[in-house]
Structure 1
Amino acid sequence: MAKSIPCPCGSSLPLASCCGRYIHGGQTAPDAEQLMRSRYSAFATDQRDYLLRSWHPDTRPPNIEHQPGEPVAKWIGLKIVSHRTIDDTHSEVEFIARYRIGGRASRLHETSRFIREGDHWYYVDGTLHES
Structure 2
Amino acid sequence: METCPCGSPDYETCCGPLHRGERDAATAEELMRSRYSAFAKQDPFYLARTWHPRTRPDDVSADPSLAWTGLSIVSSTEDTVDFVARYTDASGAGELREHSRFARRGGRWVYVDGDVN
Q: TM-score range by the shorter chain?
A: over 0.9
TM-score by length of 1: 0.84
* Whole-Å separation in 2 of the counterparts to 1:83 and 1:118: 22
Which amino acid letter does the alignment assign opposite residue 51 of structure 2?
W
1:26 is the counterpart of 2:22: yes
Kindly tell me the number of residue pairs found equivalent between the two proteins.
117
Which amino acid letter does the alignment assign opposite residue 80 of structure 1?
I
Residues 50-95 of structure 1 show CA distances to partners (whole Å, capped at 9, x for unaligned) of 00100000000122246xxx7610000000000112xxxxx10000
CA distance 1:8–1:65, shift in 2 (3 Å)? closer
| Higher Rg of the two aligned structures | 1
Which amino acid letter does the alignment assign opposite residue 31 of structure 2?
L
1:94 is the counterpart of 2:82: yes
In structure 2, what is the equivalent of residue 9 of structure 1? 6
In structure 2, what is the equivalent of residue 88 of structure 1? none
1:62 is the counterpart of 2:58: yes
Residues 7-44 of structure 1 show CA distances to partners (whole Å, capped at 9, x for unaligned) of 000122x1111011101122000010000000000000
**1:28–1:119: 8 Å Cα contact kept in structure 2?**
no
Root-mean-square deviation (Å): 1.5
TM-score by length of 2: 0.94
Gaps of 5+ in 2: none
**2:43–2:61: 8 Å Cα contact kept in structure 1?**
no
SS at match of 1:39: helix
* Whole-Å separation in 2 of the counterparts to 1:60 and 1:11: 27
Gaps of 5+ in 1: 86-90
**1:28–1:120: 8 Å Cα contact kept in structure 2?**
yes
- Determine what percentage of the aligned residue pairs are the same residue: 48
1:123 is the counterpart of 2:111: yes
